[in-house]
Structure 1
């Protein structure tokens, strides 16, 4: 899969997608500009209009920068590490988690996903 850029508040991050049907289906929706809402003080959330294939698994430890899918259309972008027993499908990960955390500040933020 092609590399994906994520732009937040004029900061650009590289998103490495997982090698699965869910990540492939997500990449086919690009480009996307989403208004993501803060949830639980550690993640941003967006309800997709499209339903993606789901391969949920128990996610005991989530890392800052993880892009996850809950059920088939709940896009969740974690900006802080989290322990949970919820099931998610892994879509990808942003490696620069320190700067990513800073960029994710705010109750509602605009996140742009594009292929490089």
Structure 2
């Protein structure tokens, strides 16, 4: 009986360790742990391409931080979003950040220049040295230019659009991600984040 309990406990521990999220071990996200959620994204099966700035503006009016009873942000709320300048490959992108506990904690470290790693042909990620408050949920679809937190400490910048089954805490998005993939390049990339003076 003791042997059966011990075996059960070992199996439970093994399953639990396999389900732990990305951005840990081997200096980054284990590819096998997230490829399922990004099914086909790097191969174009679920890819929907880069969004136009008009479609990205709609994202500003549909904050992930809204309660279920609210349909969209007002123009005034959109103006209150924090503006961020993201620089990659010598190209500057304007981003909007949601006003949340997570983004406020992230910006305590501003400005930041990070060496972000490549994953799945659709994202760059960086393991932050500290965990941030997270409110993860499944967005169902990722859009090029989305900036999200995976787990509590993995900062992710997506440069392709695709469907996902993974849970993220939305941080914000690039207003016009055109050329982002090219600017980030194929391997790791140096990306700077700085609050805009505007």
Q: Verify same fold: TM over 0.5.
A: yes
User: 2:130 aligned with 1:50, yes or no?
Assistant: yes
Q: Choose from 173, 189, 193 the match for 1:109.
A: 189
Higher RCO, 1 vs 2 (CA within 8 Å, ≥6 residues apart): 1
Q: Choose from 130, 138, 142 the match for 1:62.
A: 142
In structure 1, the gaps of 5 or more residues are: none
2:161 maps to 81
- Please give the per-residue CA displacement for 1:16-57, whole angstroms capped at 9, x wherever unaligned: 001211111112211111000110110001000011100001
Normalised TM-score (structure 2): 0.57
In structure 2, the gaps of 5 or more residues are: 1-80
Q: Choose from 108, 112, 136 the match for 1:32.
A: 112
Q: What number of residue pairs does the alignment pair up?
A: 116
Bigger share in helix: 2
Aligned ranges for residues 3-18 of structure 1 at < 5 Å?
Answer: 3-18=83-98
Q: CA RMSD in A?
A: 1.1
Normalised TM-score (structure 1): 0.94
Q: Which has the larger radius of gyration?
A: 2
